[in-house]
Amino acid sequence: MGGAILFDVLSLYDLDEVYISDINGELINLYCCIRDNVDEIIKILKEYQDEYIYADTDVREEIFYEKRNHYNELIKKGFSHNSIESAALFIFLNRTCFNGLYRVNKKGFFNVPCGKYKNPKICDEKNIRAVSHALQRVTIACGDYRQSLEFIDKNTFVYIDPPYRPLTLTSNFTSYAKNDFNDDSQKELAEYVHILRSKGAKVLLSNSDPKNVDPNDDFFDSLYADYRIERVEASRMINSRADKRGPVKELLISNYEDVAERVEGC
């Protein structure tokens, strides 16, 4: 589930059960550690912050790459799950890397270069504690999205935030996890959404709108032909080129009415 939607939903509704999942083990470890070990995470992040903030640019770069190597070593050794250190490193790298990206190579190693933020907030204690509080009653699972099937029935609202379909051949940023999410994966996901719909669940899915670059590209319009498809303006937060960060259309695909008002602000 997309983090922004999750926290919006948690703040608005008193739900009986909430289940989130992702295939990225490091991301799930982060969510679990923030939920269960918030004091330890904050303690480590404060140390990282003191080490980084007072260093000059060259030393900052050294610290970044030393921590990135260490993070990848933990992944290599299989120590990145159930690891508070890994979770703290995840946040450190996210706050100090180029544009706050999360990207891994084919081997699953984090490969985003050092960023140039003057004063990154490495330990945002208030926010991390608020997130921890919100997650207390959330079931967090690592795995393929299909594993959620058993949790879903006619009373479930499902939000799916898959890797976006790249708008152009050169913008194929889909590597949040080491498996690539290609057009066949998007089609398999649509099959799964149809199954959820047949169970009676309310399903909402977001994705990029191919019509931003090719008005004749009907990929999602035909995949979800009998769904409600809304095109909403979204300012792209992540793009390596500042001039490309303007509003683009994105898709909200659902099997029920009136979603745009509620989720547009997320």
CB of 43 to ligand SAM, least distance (A): 24
Under rule CB under 6 A, residue 66 binds ligand SAM: no
Q: Is 3 in the site for ligand SAM (CB under 6 A)?
A: yes
* 163 scored as a contact of ligand SAM (CB under 6 A): yes
Question: For ligand SAM, which residue of 53, 114, 177, 248 counts as binding (CB under 6 A)?
Answer: 177
d(CA 17, CA 159): 14
Residue with tokens 């891994």: 104
- What are phi and psi for residue 199, nearest 5 degrees? -80, -10
Rounded to the nearest whole angstrom, what is the least distance from the CB of residue 201 to ligand SAM in the complex?
17
Sign of CA dihedral 205, 182, 236, 3: positive
In this complex, which beta carbon is closest to ligand SAM, that of residue 109 or of residue 145?
Answer: 145
**Closer Cβ to ligand SAM, 19 or 47, answer by number:** 19
Q: Does 100 bind ligand SAM (CB under 6 A)?
A: no
The phi, psi pair for 8, rounded to 5°, reads -65, -50
Q: Binding residue for ligand SAM (CB under 6 A) from 40, 61, 161, 217?
A: 161
Q: Which of residues 17-56 bind ligand SAM (CB under 6 A)?
A: 22-24, 27
Distance of CA 20 to the CA centre of its chain: 11
Q: How far apart are CA 40 and CA 123, in angstroms?
A: 12
Residue in 117, 145, 151, 219 binding ligand SAM, rule: CB under 6 A: 145
Between residues 21 and 49, which has the closer beta carbon with respect to ligand SAM? 21
Closest CA to 165 of 262, 254, 253: 253
Contact 11, 262 (CB under 8 A): no
Under rule CB under 6 A, residue 234 binds ligand SAM: no
Q: Which stretch binds ligand SAM (CB under 6 A): 8-16, 60-68, 161-169, 235-243?
A: 161-169
Closest Cα to residue 227, out of 202, 192, 254? 254
- Which window, 55-63, 157-165, 210-218, 256-264, contacts ligand SAM (CB under 6 A)? 157-165
- Residue 151 touches ligand SAM, criterion: CB under 6 A: no
In the DSSP assignment, the letter for residue 162 is P
End-to-end Cα separation, the chain, in angstroms: 13
**By the rule CB under 6 A, 110 interacts with ligand SAM:** no
Virtual CA dihedral for 190, 173, 100, 231, nearest 10 degrees? -50
The pair of structure tokens assigned to 20 is 């989130």
Q: Residue 188, interface with ligand SAM (CB under 6 A)?
A: no
Report the interface residues with ligand SAM, using CB under 6 A.
2-3, 22-24, 27, 144-145, 161-164, 176-177, 179, 181
